[in-house]
Amino acid sequence: MTGLPRENVQSYPRPPALEPVPQRVTVRLGGVTVADTTHALRVLETHHAPTYYLPPEDIGATLRPVGGATFCEWKGAARYFDVLAGATTAPRAAWSYDHPTAGFAPLAGFVAFYAGLMDEAWVGGVRVLPQPGDFYGGWVTPNLEGRIKGAHGTRHW
């Protein structure tokens, strides 16, 4: 087993919930540890893999702001970053909410990384896979059960 508790993504709430992550979260890119923290937060939303947000003080990479933004009905406006680590640049590979909605205020300034654009992402010593598709940024771990949104034909349900 993974050491992570079994969870069914279909039982995650809507509107989403925000909770602290008790496990160590690590992200690597270009042979460099981009982030390493025991103070991550995660967002749980029905049919989504959890999205992990890391505190800025535990991020060792350079985050270069890029143009464009998206809007989440729950969290507000997100801005995006290129991630620079060593000699490697991952374009538009991270995002943050500078001024999230009141229900997600603890996320202010925390940074999420697209697992598929990093070399590695880990939760509690378990390697992460990216959420299916190219839109959502959830992290899939082997303890998750249920149908995860993001694959072809699931974006708008």
CATH class, range 7-141? mainly beta
Give the distance, in angstroms, between the CA of residue 121 and the centroid of all CA atoms in the same chain.
10
Q: What is the mean pLDDT of residues 142-148?
A: 95
* Bridge pairing between strands 41-44 and 32-37: unpaired
Place of tokens 């839109």: 135
CA-to-CA distance for 21 and 47, rounded, in angstroms? Answer: 19
Domain parsing of the chain, residue ranges:
7-141
Residue 150: pLDDT band (50, 70, 90) is confident
Find, among 76, 83, 71, the residue nearest to 30 by Cα: 83
Does residue 13 have a cis peptide bond before it, meaning omega lies within 30 degrees of 0?
Answer: no
Taking only the tens place, the pLDDT of each residue in 66-83 is: 999 999 999 999 999 999
Taking only the tens place, the pLDDT of each residue in 16-63 is: 999 999 999 999 999 999 999 999 999 999 999 999 999 999 999 999
Residue 1: pLDDT band (50, 70, 90) is very low
If you ran DSSP here, which 8-state letter would residue 129 be given?
E
Mean pLDDT score across all residues of the chain: 94
Q: What are the tokens at 32? A: 């460099």
pLDDT at 157: 67
Burial of 125 (0-12, 13-18, 19+ CB in 10 A): exposed
